Amino acid sequence: MPNLIMDQTVKQSKTNIQKQSITDRLFLYIKRQASSFPRYVLENFIFLMFGWIPTIIGIGFRGIFYRLILKMDGWAAIENTVRLRFANNIQLSNGVYLDQHTYLHACKNGIQIGENSIVMHGSILHVYNFRNMPHSSIKIGKDCLIGEYSVIRGQGGVTLGDRVYTSPFTQILAVNHVINDPQIPIIDQGITAEGIVIEDDVWIGSGAIITDGIRIGHGSVIAAGAVVTSDIPPNVIAAGIPAKVIRSIEKKEPEQNKTIYF
């Protein structure tokens, strides 16, 4: 009989631990989706009601009702299947366009997108800050284009000036793992998050990667496939792994055998 009672006690204890674990995981999930439980309910209710509606009709509904959950200065066009997390930390200026399957995750300090900027299909803007870093954010200026399937990670803070164009599959990663001790798992060694600044009128080619702690100067071009690991001065073209300046951009006459469209 004592053994039976002990077995029952152990089973009950295991059941309580499992219930607690499931509850803890549920609350952790909600904590990483919205700034509070009421916000989680409100945001997901709005998504359920209006997030799926296709065509310009859905864009119209979202332009009206998404104001209840995010900051919208003027009118922004948000396609269906756009995912927003911590929506109260997202600010969209007039003329912003978010294409289908884009994902904005905006922890504290959040995401700001300037007038007439476009975030193309499948892109990810992610301010994943659960270490309470004070400078985590993504700020995008006016008339920018974030190309298809690009990724911007804003733990260290990412600032894009005006008219910054990124081609498809670019990565702007303001975070890095510390790797100092082979005896300690990388995940337990911490991170650095210095931030990235890309000045006005920069063009970043397809598949390029911008690493943490970098500034790219005004008017420069990063070639396709380049990996930028050090600062790039203004008005140059940089290419390679790691990226190096290959020439300055200077005024010259266009090539006669090429047609230029405006």
**Which residues carry out catalysis?**
177
Q: What's the N-to-C CA distance of the chain in angstroms?
A: 89
Burial of 33 (0-12, 13-18, 19+ CB in 10 A): middle
Query: How far is 231 from 215, CA to CA, in rounded Å?
Result: 5
Backbone angles phi, psi at 229, to 5 degrees: -120, 0
Q: Which amino acid is at 11?
A: K
